[in-house]
Structure 1
Amino acid sequence: MANNVKERAAVIAQPILDDLDMELVDIEYKKEGQNWVLRVFIDNDEGVGLEECSLVSERLSQKLDEEDPIPGFYYLEVSSPGAERPLKNAKDFEGAVGKNVYVKTYEQVDGKKVFEGLLTAYEGGEVTINIREKTRTKAFQVPERLIATARLSVL
């Protein structure tokens, strides 16, 4: 059910964000304690502040009320992805080249499942991450298809 809610919320949110020249980074729909929370992460080239989040929240809340795609009560939160922005697609990885990342894989790559270091390249569905190991830096090539989660990292 959560995936269906996320997909429907994304379809409703996208025209609002397009109109405001913003990007939909991610959507979460999950139970926290006794409550359901729909969390929408947005961004733009200049960065997102409280004013932008409030504007999107107001418009999105109105549209969600009109279309009523989510059964029951839930809380809506709109925020920026912050310093640890998730990396979900080619555009995200391309934009993160030159930045520190945290990547966890489904299976081992060169004996590791967790990579934290500098993303130096994204080519042909593969990311290259330079990781400092004691006195040297080692480059790891990780196929995108093996990546379980990836995000920007604050080292």
Structure 2
Amino acid sequence: MNKELVEQLITDALGENSPLFLISLEFLVDNKISIIIDGDEGVPLNECIRLSRAVESELDREEEDFSLEVSSPDVTKPLIVFRQFKKNIGRTLSVKTAEEKIEGKLVEVIGDDIILNWSAREPKPIGKGKVTVQKSATIPYNSIIEAKVKLIF
């Protein structure tokens, strides 16, 4: 399988719709090609079909048989590309770094940092009991080990 050709075909097809971007491209056993794309405002099914056709039409099954799968990311999988954070502003994320694990609402993406806000119960400064306080954390993207969107029903 000509991997460079497939990569170029995907790049060209994604260039036709700038809100879309590549999450992963895998060449698996038995010539299976797995492409995962995302978009700033989601991925319509017709865009998966268009991308699949754009790649498949340029590859010759007579020369080398293959299977092709184009999909959008699974909501239970971690965020992989920094651009995915921007599209998830307003959602609750579970973010793991080397030092800690934080769960909070993604409120902003600035430069290479994400900002999470959450509420926490802490002991009162004076007296017994607890008080609810608002917390915030600025996390550099390069320190994130794993980040997942928390599904809330």
Using structure 1 for the length normalisation, give the TM-score. 0.64
Aligned partner of residue 78 in structure 1, secondary structure: strand
How far residue 45 of structure 1 moved from its aligned partner, in angstroms, is: 5.6
Change (3 A) 1:149 1:37: farther
Gaps in structure 2 of 5+ consecutive residues: 122-131
Gaps in structure 1 of 5+ consecutive residues: none
More helix as a share of residues: 1
Q: What is the CA deviation profile of residues 106-143 of structure 1, one whole-angstrom value per residue up to 9, with x for unaligned ones?
A: x11xxx1x333211122242212123445554322212
How far residue 73 of structure 1 moved from its aligned partner, in angstroms, is: 6.3
How far residue 12 of structure 1 moved from its aligned partner, in angstroms, is: 2.6
Change (3 A) 1:9 1:136: farther
In the alignment, the residues of structure 2 paired with residue 21 and residue 127 of structure 1 have an alpha-carbon distance, to the nearest angstrom, of 23
Using structure 2 for the length normalisation, give the TM-score. 0.65
* 1:153 is the counterpart of 2:150: yes
Q: CA RMSD in A?
A: 3.3
In the alignment, the residues of structure 1 paired with residue 110 and residue 96 of structure 2 have an alpha-carbon distance, to the nearest angstrom, of 18
Change (3 A) 1:29 1:51: same
**What is the identity percentage for the equivalent residue pairs of Structure 1 and Structure 2?**
25
Aligned residues: 138
Change (3 A) 1:35 1:21: same
Q: Which moved more, 1:39-48 or 1:136-145?
A: 39-48
Residues 40 and 87 in structure 2, CA contact (< 8 A), matched pair in contact too: no
The equivalences for 1:21-36 within 5 A come to 21=18, 23-29=20-26, 31=28, 35=30
In the alignment, the residues of structure 2 paired with residue 148 and residue 64 of structure 1 have an alpha-carbon distance, to the nearest angstrom, of 36
| Rg larger for | 2
Q: What is the CA deviation profile of residues 34-53 of structure 1, one whole-angstrom value per residue up to 9, with x for unaligned ones?
A: 65643222344664333332
In the alignment, the residues of structure 2 paired with residue 13 and residue 57 of structure 1 have an alpha-carbon distance, to the nearest angstrom, of 9
